[in-house]
Every structure is written in structure tokens, then in C-alpha cells.
Amino acid sequence: MKIDSIDPRVNRLELDAEHTYEDHVLQTEDHFQTYQVFHQKKRGDKHICVGIVHAPSDEMALVFAKEQYARRGETVNLWVVNTRHVLAMDYEDTDIFSTTTEKTYRDPAGYKVNDRIEAYKKAQIDV
Amino acid sequence: MFDPKTTAALKKMLLVHADDHLILGHRNSEWTGLGPILEEDIAFSSIAQDKIGHALGLYSILHEHLGEADPDTVAFMRNEQEFFCAQLVEHPIGAYDFSLMRHFLFDHAAQFRFDAWSLSAYEPLAKLSRKIKGEIKYHVFHADSWVRQLATEGNEESKARMQSALNEVFPLALGLFESMESEALLTAAGITPSENELREKWLAHIDGLLTKWGLKLPDLRATQAILGGRQGYHTKYLQPLLEEMTEVFRVDPSAEW
């Protein structure tokens, strides 16, 4: 028994009604690498990471990235970077980012001029 | 603008290439939802949609400048003998190697053709050709990347399948350059280069690429080009495609969409 679908594309495949996807065991070569896609909207803008594509090579990653992330809207350029080239922190090490001691002198809010800025802003609103 | 005979030849030429793009676009859209991987499914479907857009551009010139019926009527209301697409584009999608090789050979031909047309003496055609240049550039980039990948970076099977697809598609692809009786009028008016000139440029270019990737273009002298499409002679595959493509439209041709 073949699958009888209202979709002619499915019927063309002549799939057995009993077909199961367990018939297909993934081989190593079925696994493509992932690439991070960076999208640039205008010349001079930063490229912004917008997601990933799976691809067998650098060039094919660029081919796929174009349709995944740049087929609508404005784009002037794309980068793809193989995910294995990204060196990342561990989430276990997030504590690296926490500040324990009082360091308000590093914070622009700590500058004395801030009082004058606030006063100026307030004056603008009052007008 | 042109004399009546040249205008008739121009209409036929536009119809020929609109039909090529419509039928190939429809064929390639049959991969939607079935592509080998998600990313490729989206890319190939999008390319198929572009092809239908290019067909629409050509049918629109016929309608807006040359007095033919509107694009939907021309695309959906003709019978098989009134289509002038090359037999290459009507063949079923086959396996992905066949579809990719057809895409590669077709899009390189389309790129030479539209590049030449961007300088055509017929301004509406020149304008359309300039407008779709970027899309065709992507189609060629996509086709080249795939064929190169499978021929040089895949395995023995992928390489063998690219070569056998090439052997199968090449005689059909030569049919894209089937010359028409009225061609001399068009070249004399500066509307288009001759089919022979386009074919020679295309051959030299694809031969260079394929050789670099370790594939071999079949010997031209031993190859019989598959012709007839430009005169309305088609394979058994076109009629079922037309029936499927026009099924909804024909229920009520006057419906507003």
C-alpha cells in the first residue's frame, strides 16, 4: 500500500504506507557542521549574529545563509563563521562577571558632573 | 518600433523564454517540503519562486507593450502545443543530482542571455534584465557551490552521480539554444545575440568550471542535441504538469485573486 495523499508532491515519492523513519540510521556524514551567521544591514554597521545554518562547507554555509537570513529586508553583507572557531566562556564561570567590591568610580554615574547633567535634564523637562 | 515581422519574432522569443522559466520554476517547486535539508529546501524553493517571477516579467512585457493577453491567461490557458519551452525544463525532477545539474546548466545559460539582453535595443527587455541580474547571480552561486561540493568534496558516489547527471542533462540543455527561423531579424535589430553566439559562450564557460571540478563535458560532436521545444514538440511529461499547474485556475478563470 502506497501513501495516498491530497498533496501530489507526497504521492510522487511513492512511500509505503508502512514507512517508518527508523529505517534510516544517521551516519557520521549526515551531520553537517553549524555556522554562525552575521548579518549587516547597512555599510558601516556592525555585523550582528542572527542565527545558525547547517552546511557541509564554508561556501555552502554562505549560500544557505543568504536565503535563510537575507531574503527579506535590507542586507549589504553576510559573514559565516564555523561554530567550532568560536571560543566561548562556560556558563559555570558566569561568576567571573559579578562585581563584589564597591567600584562606583568605574561607573559613569559616579562622576561629579552627573549632578549637573541631571539638573540640566530636569531644566529641559520643566521648560 | 520594429517592423511587423521583427515584432512577431520578438513576441515569439519572449514567449519561449517566459515558458522556460515558468515550467522550470514549477518543476523545481515540486521539491518544496522535500528538499535534502531544511536550509536547501528554503533556498531551492526560493530560487523556483524567482524563476516564476522572471517568467512573469517576460509575460508582462508581452501584455503591457506588445498587446498580448494578461500573464495569467497566457500562462494557464494554453495547451501543450502552444508552449515553446525547451524539453529540458519539462522533465520530472528525478533525483536531486538531476535537478541540480539541470539548474546548473540552465542558470549559466540564463545568465549569459540576460547579461546580453541588459544591452538589448528593446528597452523593456533591457530594463527587466538589469532588474533581475542579482537574483540570477545568486542562482548561479548556488548551483556552482552545490556542483563543486558534490564533485570535489563529497565521496566517490557523489562524484559519479554528478558525472552521470551531466551526461544525461547535457543533450537536453543544448535544446535551450535551438535556433528559430526568425532569429536573424532579432539579431539584425540588436534585440538579442544569436543562439549560436550564446551557446558558444556558455559552452566555453561551463567546460572551464566542470574541468576544474574533475567532471567531463560530453563530446559535443558525439552528442545529439534534443530539440523541438521551440516548435511546440514536447515530451509526455509536459501535459500532466500543465494539468496540475492549471487545475485551480481553470475551475474559474475569471476569479479575482
Mind listing the pLDDT tens digit for each residue in B171-227? 999 999 999 889 999 999 999 999 999 999 999 999 999 999 999 999 999 999 999
Instruction: Please give, rounded to a whole number of angstroms, the shortest distance from the CA of B115 to a CA of chain A.
Output: 22
Which residues of A fall within a CB distance of 8 Å from B33? 9
| B247 has a chain A CB within 8 A of its CB | no
C-alpha cell at B201: 559562450
Q: Is the ipTM of this complex over 0.95?
A: no
What is the Cα gyration radius of chain B?
A: 18
pLDDT digits (tens, 9 = 90+) for A33-79: 899 999 999 999 999 999 999 999 999 999 999 999 998 889 999 99
Among chain A residues, the shortest Cα distance to B240 is held by A8
State the Cα–Cα distance between residues A89 and A66, nearest whole angstrom: 29
A52 secondary structure, DSSP code:
E
Residue B129: the pLDDT is 98
Say if the Cβ atoms of B39 and A9 lie within 8 Å: no
| pLDDT band (50, 70, 90) for residue A117 | confident
Minimal Cβ distance to A9: which of B33, B38, B42: B33
The pLDDT of residue A25 is above 60? no
> Given CB atoms, is B209 within the 8 Å cutoff of chain A?
no
